[in-house]
Chains A and B, each alone.
Chain A
Amino acid sequence: MTCNQTLQKVESMEHEMIEREIHIDAAPEVVFEVVSSPRHVREWWPDEAEFPVEPGGTGRIGFGDTSQDNNWAQFTVVDVAPPRLFSFRWTHQAGELAAPGNSLLVVFELEPAGRGTLLRMTETGFRERGWDAVEIAHEYAEHVAGWDYFLPRLLAYAAKVGADA
């Protein structure tokens, strides 16, 4: 990486936020289920997900060998407003109440768009949470970064969805 490219990336840190938008050819109700229900969250992010889908609901998500305590991250639901909004905090310490300053906040906003859904996602709190939160998020990101991990699961999942229908 050249110095200039490095500095451009530093500039982007000023926003201290990850912000993404994606169009999905599925109804908001379907997308809401996929982003919020633990049985679906397990298919796109952690290996295990245990949390009640209700405001303030506390739980955890697990990565890799979930018999190890340190492979679990704390997870607290913030807002649930189907099919428009789902948000949660994660990376806080076990036993701590999730709040600004001890966790990262992920917000999913859903908006009908044609016959599908515009899904907006933001993750904030890096600056307030500090560097170790990025380390944690990075560590968990590595578990699921590649298609090598995802494709076999997707095929299995798609077959299962088909079988259930």
Chain B
Amino acid sequence: MVDDDLWSAVGDPTRRRMLDLLLSDGGATATSLSEHLPVTRQAVAKHLVVLDRVGLVHSTIAGRERQFRVDQAQLARAVDQLADVGAAWDARLQRIKRIAETIERTRDQSAQN
């Protein structure tokens, strides 16, 4: 997997709308997705290739078309990791605050003495 592609894959509004539709319907084909989107079936098929390449969707043959489903584990993994990086910064900033305020209080006390 090319790592940049995962970011590009979820960074595109049409592809996020497709993930939304795939999640709510439990699965769909390029044709059925294109019925809900303002883009052609060919464009949807290209977007599905992008999502498939990064493992966000998997497909099975259903009759004459491919049926796509979201890989929920991969999607959750993608979003959780960004959230965790944010949470780590929250913790670091709390530490910065406490350290700076401790130093400030120590300074004030020194100034008073």
Contact = CB atoms under 8 A, between A and B. Distances in A.
B4 interface: yes
Given A10-B16, A138-B85, A22 B7 contact: no
B40 interface: no
Given A18-B89, A123-B85, A10 B99 contact: no
Nearest to A131: B3
A13 B99 contact: no
Interface stretch (A23-31, A50-58, A68-76, A92-100): A23-31
B76 interface: yes
Contacts of A141: 84-85, 87-88
B11 A150 contact: no
B43 interface: no
Contacts of B98: 154
Secondary structure class of chain B's binding surface, majority of residues: helix
A126 interface: yes
Contacts, number: 144
Contacts of B82: 9, 12-13, 126, 134
Nearest to A32: B100
A43 B85 contact: no
Contact of B104 (A25, A138, A140): A25
Contact residues on A (Cβ < 8 Å of other chain), bracket? 35 or more
Contacts of A24: 96-97, 100-101
A145 B87 contact: yes
A119 B93 contact: yes
Contacts of A12: 82
Nearest to A106: B89
Contacts of A154: 95, 98-99
Contacts of A140: 88
B89 A13 contact: no
Given A26-B103, A27-B104, A154-B98, A134 B89 contact: no
> Which 6 A-B pairs have CB atoms at the shortest separation, nearest pair first?
A131-B3, A141-B88, A26-B104, A44-B95, A26-B100, A9-B79
Interface of A: 1, 3, 6-7, 9-14, 16, 18, 20, 22, 24-27, 30-31, 33-35, 40, 43-45, 117, 119, 121, 123, 126-127, 130-132, 134-135, 137-138, 140-142, 144-146, 150, 154, 157-158, 161-162, 165
